Amino acid sequence: MKMKHNINVILSLLILVLPHTGCKKLVEVDGPTTSVNSANIYKSDATAASVLTGIYTKLSSEGVQNPSLTAICYFTGLSSDELTLINAVGNSQMKAFYGNSLGAQVAGFEFWEKIYSYLYIINGSIEGISSSKTLTPAVKQQLLGEAKFMRAFCYFYLVNLYGNVPLALSTDYKTNTGLSRSPAKGVWDQIKTDLLDAQGLLSENYLDATLLKTTQEKVRPSKWAATALLARAYLYTKDWSNAEQQATVVLNNPNYSLVSLEDVFKMNNSEAIWQLQPVVYNSTAEGVAFKIEPDRSLSFTPSFLSNDLVSSFENGDQRKISWIGSATIEGVNYNFPNKYKIGLDPDAPISEYSTVLRLAEQYLIRAEARMQQGKVSEGIADLNIIRGRATDKTAPKTLQLKQLSNTLSNESALLFVEHERQTELFTEWGHRWLDLKRTNRIDQVMAIEAPNKVPMAVWKNFKQWYPISLSELKKAVKLTQNEGY
């Protein structure tokens, strides 16, 4: 699991990268006056904060076309029915995800390695922050909350992509290399424990780089980010009552509200719960990777939205107009995700942030949780709020997106939840792929989709899980491969 004995180099690199990012609202802190290492990094507020800040910076800088935590939106989109790969320009790694032909020496294991490297730093920060006697109490509390939130965030994706995974909660190298795969239930229990802890530790306000002053920037996790992710965790583990309760806590916060479709991915908007600042370009990684432009080679944007996704939008759904762009290159028309309007434009002012958690998902979580408890009409009311935002109310009634009827059966209502999640959350943080898995709809959908992507391809259930690399299996003697690989 790439657990190294010494984190000095990693932490120092994280700190050194900060002054060069250009995102001063997030990272501008006083530099250390002496050399920084694992022994003294948690002695001062500034250097301790820089570890977590470094993680957010790295998340934003990694891009989405090389497998990393942030790239889950891209590669699960290829695995599912969201994206179509242009075979002439897509690389072998992308082709493996797209064709659901992953393997221990092919592709699919990259997320495991990347996420565990984050977890090592996070576990080190939890240990260092907890034992520090010199941090300002308020800073110590916030940092510990951020670290626990990030550990839960990492394990959320590990357990959803790989199933049973080793539960590494320390930086002890010998312990970690001897871990076997923990049952998924134990991983989910740890996710919930960390998020409940984070709820009690994190500030209700958004804090700046000092962690002592409030800010409008939503780039550090808050109590509300922990609550939003906790609602999702309860939903995924079918704890419907708690999912509804936690989502309601967020939805009842007057500081959050739905915004217009054009503003959903703007920086610091009232729908955003947690965002990442651009640190490489003046635009988001998603905007750079997804936006197809006629004057730019398709080798930079080798995928486009699948016909299945584009055709799934109902008449009158303004999300199709606002969030899907099109470009014609060499006589071929390509539809692409246009949620982030700014592509690769170094001269554009920063106006969009990569959005990780947002309010619309909480409505969808609560809708599903309510329906699963038999409260169908209440769940439909939540769906209609989302559909209402996607409706042009100035258009004639016949051209508006229709509101759902309260008389829908529970089964039909739940299918509308899936539909709304597909059209609302497409190409965002792997939602579609994970939704198909958790609702046991993946075999039905992918049995049709797989041969559409690659002629004669046969879908098999084990392909919903990604493989572990051969090198990882050799290093950890108790580690076993996912079935089928």
Read off the pLDDT of residues 378-393 as tens digits, 9 standing for 90 and up.
Answer: 999 999 999 999 999 9
For 19-53, letters b (16+ CB in 10 Å) and e give: eebebeebbebeebeeebebeebbbbbbbbbbbbb
pLDDT of residue 339 exceeding 50, the answer is yes
CA dist., res. 268 & res. 266, Å (int): 6
As given in the structure block, the two tokens for residue 181 are 């795969």
As given in the structure block, the two tokens for residue 118 are 């984050």
What pLDDT was estimated at residue 272?
98
pLDDT of residue 2 exceeding 60, the answer is no
Q: Does the CA dihedral 170-2-111-343 come out positive or negative? A: positive
pLDDT of residue 31 exceeding 60, the answer is no
pLDDT of residue 27 exceeding 60, the answer is no
- φ, ψ for residue 278 (rounded to 5)? -65, 135
What mean pLDDT do residues 189-207 have?
Answer: 98
CA dist., res. 474 & res. 188, Å (int): 26
pLDDT of residue 32 exceeding 70, the answer is no
- φ, ψ for residue 316 (rounded to 5)? 90, 0
pLDDT of residue 30 exceeding 50, the answer is no
pLDDT of residue 33 exceeding 90, the answer is no
Categorize the per-residue pLDDT at 38 as very low, low, confident or very high, splitting at 50, 70 and 90. low
pTM: 0.93
**Residue ranges of the domains in the chain?**
8-279+354-475
Share of the chain above pLDDT 70, in %: 92
What mean pLDDT do residues 322-345 have?
Answer: 94
pLDDT of residue 10 exceeding 50, the answer is no
If one counts every other C-beta atom within 10 angstroms of the C-beta of residue 260, the result is 12
pLDDT of residue 25 exceeding 60, the answer is no
CA dist., res. 24 & res. 26, Å (int): 5
pLDDT of residue 21 exceeding 70, the answer is no
Read off the pLDDT of residues 404-414 as tens digits, 9 standing for 90 and up.
Answer: 999 999 999 99
**Which residues are CB-contacts of 180 (< 8 A; sequence separation ≥ 6)?**
166, 478, 479, 480
What pLDDT was estimated at residue 37?
61
19-28, 40-49, 85-94, 315-324: range with lowest mean pLDDT: 19-28
Judge whether 289 and 74 are in contact, CB under 8 Å: yes
pLDDT of residue 28 exceeding 70, the answer is no
Read off the pLDDT of residues 445-457 as tens digits, 9 standing for 90 and up.
Answer: 999 999 999 999 9
What pLDDT was estimated at residue 23?
43
Domain 8-279+354-475: top CATH class: mainly alpha
CA dist., res. 203 & res. 215, Å (int): 12
Categorize the per-residue pLDDT at 443 as very low, low, confident or very high, splitting at 50, 70 and 90. very high
Cross-strand bridge partners of residue 336: 325
What mean pLDDT do residues 35-56 have?
Answer: 87
- Mean pLDDT, all residues of the chain: 91
- What are the angstrom distances between the C-alpha of 387 and each of 109, 171, 251, 402, 419? 37, 46, 16, 8, 11
What mean pLDDT do residues 159-187 have?
Answer: 95
pLDDT of residue 111 exceeding 60, the answer is yes
What pLDDT was estimated at residue 55?
96
- What are the angstrom distances between the C-alpha of 214 and each of 12, 54, 94, 130, 201? 27, 20, 41, 23, 16
For 55-65, letters b (16+ CB in 10 Å) and e give: bbbbbbbbbbb
Q: Which amino acid is at 36?
A: V
Cross-strand bridge partners of residue 207: 214
For 461-471, letters b (16+ CB in 10 Å) and e give: eebbbbbbbee
**What angle (nearest 5°) sits at the alpha carbon of residue 164, between those of residues 273 and 465?**
80
What are the respective helix, strand and coil percentages of the chain, to the nearest 5?
A: 50, 5, 40
What pLDDT was estimated at residue 13?
40
Round to the nearest angstrom and report the end-to-end CA distance of the chain. Answer: 19
Cα 475–chain centre separation = 28
As given in the structure block, the two tokens for residue 90 are 């897509």
Read off the pLDDT of residues 144-166 as tens digits, 9 standing for 90 and up.
Answer: 999 999 999 999 999 999 999 99
More confident residue, 44 or 348: 44
pLDDT of residue 265 exceeding 50, the answer is yes
As given in the structure block, the two tokens for residue 100 are 């659901």
What mean pLDDT do residues 198-217 have?
Answer: 97
CA dist., res. 48 & res. 34, Å (int): 14
What pLDDT was estimated at residue 88?
75
